[in-house]
Amino acid sequence: MEVLGRGGCGVVYKGKMIKEDKLVAVKELRMEPEENGQVSDLKFREFQHEVFMMSGLRCKYLVELYCVQTNPLRMVLEFVPGKDLGDVLHSQQGKKLSWHLKSKLALDISYAMAYLQTQVVPPIIHRDLRSPNVFVLSLDENHQGAHCKVADFGLAQRVYTLHSESLFNWQYLAPEVIDEYAGYDERADLFSYGIVLWEIVTQQFPYDEFGTKKVMQLRPEEVEDPNFLAHLKEDGWLIDKEKMEAYIIDLNRHTMTQLIIDEELRPTIPTGIPDYLADIIRDCWNKNPAERPKFPEICKTIRTSLEHSSIYLPPEPWLDSELGLKTIEAKGRFFVSDNTKRARQRTILHNFLDRYPSPVTTLSLVRDNIWVCCLDGKINIYDYKSGKMLEEIAAFKSGVYVTCMTVSEPHAWIGTTDSMISLWSITKRKIKRQLKGHAKKLSCLLPYPMNSPSPVVNAVPTTPDEKLKKKKASLDVMWSGDSEGKIILWKGEAKWKRQFLKGEIFGMCIIPSGMAVLSTGLLSIFDAESKLVKEINLFSQDYAGLTLANKQLWLASKNGLYVVDCFDNWNILKLPTEFNSTFHSIVTVSADKENEIQVWAGGEDAIYVYSVQKKSIIERLDEHEDIVTSFVAIDAENQVWSGSNDRAIVRWHY
């Protein structure tokens, strides 16, 4: 087959579907010789992800996926006969495209992006929108179909900050994407669109004017100052030209990206271009994502201008009737609704915040921060409003990591694998002291508020001893449980009571009548005085946690989800599921404006969102690639944070 192109992951051939008599592009996953004919796990995941992203997308402004071949691994894609937009813009040898043609190219790209961000719930973030990923079908101004199509979904919705990957295409990236400490959503694509539109308008390379001539093509001889090496040699430096060229490129790139973030450096918008295009570019480059226009607005602006020029444009019903959009499934999600208004309200956006060297074990809300605990013993502290990381703490020695965490002011209580409970000063972010009492790994910590002090405590204290007794009695009682079934109740920093259950403690939850404790095959109910009043035998032995939602206890188990009614004879219901039935974490979320309560359950590589009222799944979120280990819900901010064994944390906005 004729080779159309080569990339980091494979080769693209020109082929033909014989029955349909249709030319196609065949993208074959490359197998390196050292891989012994086998596809590496990473490459397979990337291939799988791109297929997953493109499945179900039907838009004439996007390159379509027809089918997949398994041996060898191939994607059969729509064949686009023209060149990519970058080649068209920069290989015209001085030939300038007309304003009408430039506007039509810009309009088609905005159509594609509007489709991804308004026709799909949740929206798809392309993340790699740039001229080489746009394919041109026609340069005829009078062509009635699409002039270009957006392609390459290899990075779509994989919302990585660039803390862990190279900035090869920094010229097209929004400041919040370049900034390794910032989170971002689909509005980052608007900035990239502004760069592509500037490129269409000027037919120049982005930031070329600042001395970064064609850095995107990695041509060192065009980046460096021709006299730079000569000056260094004159000063007595011994220079390796190849290494120095690479260094100059890297230094140039770092300098430019910092200017983009800190000084709002942007390419110069030339004079003499249509005002509406200049305004779109300028608005898309706004540092504040909230101030950038939406893609449907951009589509309508360009359409209006072209129609005023008596240019015929075919109707786009899905865009023109935006208020009645029909939602579709995307990326394996199972939430599809005929009620579009409700569907749009429930759209879940997300920021991929970071990827760590080791798996995430525990997340906890500590005042205005999220403390992220990892398997390597480190604690990373984030501001939950901005998503920025504030501090990294090497909290515990090698081999010791956090298994559970909670807050009882002014301390964060942290349980670890070495059976210790560490009391951390929240303000100083240091260990104040450690409590001994458990012999095995800590599995859960939960403060129980003491709202009913004893009659003795209500008496007016007259002596220092009585004042101390009153202070201790008014403290929350901290419950701690470990992997051998031992429960300790702490008042202040002193052990108060002990309880012993059979098997490992998996979780604790405050309920209206007291405290519920989940252990191996057993749900134990304690009253407000910490007395064991009821034990309920469960179907499963191996659990991961529990949460209270609308007077019901939801239990996450290795073989499914169970619901226990706390007010109706403690009946147990196992929820039917057609998905992976193994769950590892669970949290209650007070969802949207309609006061619907949700339960989010973390599975092997996905999050399942359940309606508490209907006891059915309404959405599946596939951003994680391994076991979802922990959640934090911040209802006041409409946020849920999730951590995973894939070493990632994601901030979800609902």
Average pLDDT per 10 consecutive residues for the chain, totaling 654 residues: 72 85 85 54 72 80 87 86 88 77 94 87 82 91 86 58 47 86 81 96 89 44 49 54 60 77 90 92 94 93 82 67 36 30 40 72 94 90 86 84 92 94 92 92 88 36 45 68 94 90 91 91 90 86 87 89 83 73 89 73 90 87 89 90 89 84
Phi, psi dihedrals of residue 53, rounded to the nearest 5°: -70, -40
Could you tell me the pTM of the whole model? 0.49
Nearest to 480 by CA among 579, 413, 382: 413
CATH 2.130.10.10 fits 349-653, yes or no: yes
State residue 19's pLDDT score: 81
State residue 283's pLDDT score: 96
- How many alpha carbons fall within 13 Å on the CB side of residue 585? 28
Residues 17, 76 contacting (CB under 8 angstroms): yes
State residue 237's pLDDT score: 53
80-206+267-344 and 349-653 in the same fold: no
Amino acid at 136: V
Give the 3-state secondary structure of 442-504.
EEEEEEECCCCCCHHHHCCCCCHHHHHHHHHHHCCEEEEEECCCEEEEEECCEEEEEEECCCC
State residue 600's pLDDT score: 94
Nearest to 435 by CA among 356, 493, 348, 501: 493
Query: How far apart (Å, rounded) are the C-alpha atoms in residues 205 and 199?
Result: 6
Q: What is the DSSP-derived secondary structure letter of residue 328?
A: B
Distances (CA, A) of 241 to 211, 220, 229: 19, 10, 8
Angle of the 275-284 helix axis to the 188-202 helix axis, nearest 10: 140
Query: How far apart (Å, rounded) are the C-alpha atoms in residues 415 and 431?
Result: 12
Residues 302, 208 contacting (CB under 8 angstroms): no
CATH topology of domain 80-206+267-344: Transferase(Phosphotransferase); domain 1 (1.10.510)
Phi, psi dihedrals of residue 350, rounded to the nearest 5°: -155, 155
The sign of the torsion formed by the CA atoms of 519, 523, 528, 533 equals: negative
Nearest to 128 by CA among 90, 149, 158: 158
Amino acid at 540: S
Cα 440 off chain centre by: 34
Q: What's the longest Cα–Cα distance across the chain?
A: 96
Residues 544, 587 contacting (CB under 8 angstroms): no
Phi, psi dihedrals of residue 264, rounded to the nearest 5°: 55, 45
The sign of the torsion formed by the CA atoms of 617, 621, 627, 630 equals: negative
Query: How far apart (Å, rounded) are the C-alpha atoms in residues 525 and 540?
Result: 17
Domain residue spans in the chain? 80-206+267-344, 349-653
Nearest to 27 by CA among 83, 74, 91, 84: 74
Residues 381, 391 contacting (CB under 8 angstroms): yes
